């Protein structure tokens, strides 16, 4: 397992927030730091737009975004201690399923934020 792993997500998106909590508390992944982009914008690469690219995973300086980030995390989860996380990790540990389903996750995020009256876009220039 890599030693420097940071997962950056949208803390105001209810889906993203719940996934991040599951990763942090129930995934049994060592050495992963979970960061809310809305509270810690410095973790986003300059010009990075979470609305179009999704959450990011920074692993030893390499940046994975969207489906690739979710796929990598889920493929690393071997014994989740939560039934929802077990379903999520088994679904998104497949690269093909991750690539197919991720656009729907972005749509769900946008809809949830819109309904909450929260700005959808998060990128470094906003802060």
Identify the pLDDT of residue 1.
45
pLDDT band at 125 (very low <50, low <70, confident <90, very high): low
Give the pLDDT mean for 41-47: 82
User: Would strands 32-36 and 5-9 be described as parallel, antiparallel, or unpaired?
Assistant: parallel
Q: Specify the residue for token string 């690393």.
A: 76
Residues 6 or more apart whose Cβ sits within 8 Å of residue 104:
none
User: Helices (H) and strands (E) in the chain — how many of each?
Assistant: 5, 4
Give me the chain's average pLDDT, please.
Answer: 87
| pTM recorded for the entire structure | 0.87
DSSP structure string for 13-65: SHHHHHHHHHHHHHS--TTEEEEETTT-GGGSPTT-BHHHH--EEEETTEEEE
- The first and second tokens of residue 70, run together, are 């979710």
pLDDT in tens, 78-107: 888 889 999 999 999 999 999 999 999 999
Domain boundaries, the chain: 5-119
- Rounded to a whole number of angstroms, the CA Rg of the chain reads 14
Spatial distance between the Cα atoms of 120 and 110, rounded to a whole number of angstroms: 6
């Amino acid at each position: 397992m890599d030693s420097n792993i940071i997962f950056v997500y949208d803390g105001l998106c209810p889906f993203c927030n719940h996934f991040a909590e599951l990763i942090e508390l129930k995934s049994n992944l060592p050495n992963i730091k979970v960061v809310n982009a809305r509270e810690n914008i410095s973790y986003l690469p300059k010009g990075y737009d979470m609305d179009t690219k999704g959450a990011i995973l920074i692993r030893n300086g390499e940046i994975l975004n969207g489906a690739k980030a979710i796929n990598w995390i889920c493929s690393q989860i071997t014994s989740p201690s939560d039934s929802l996380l077990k379903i999520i990790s088994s679904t998104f540990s497949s690269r093909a399923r991750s690539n197919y389903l991720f656009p729907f996750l972005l749509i769900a995020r946008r809809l949830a934020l819109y309904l909450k009256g929260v700005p959808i876009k998060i990128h470094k220039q906003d802060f």
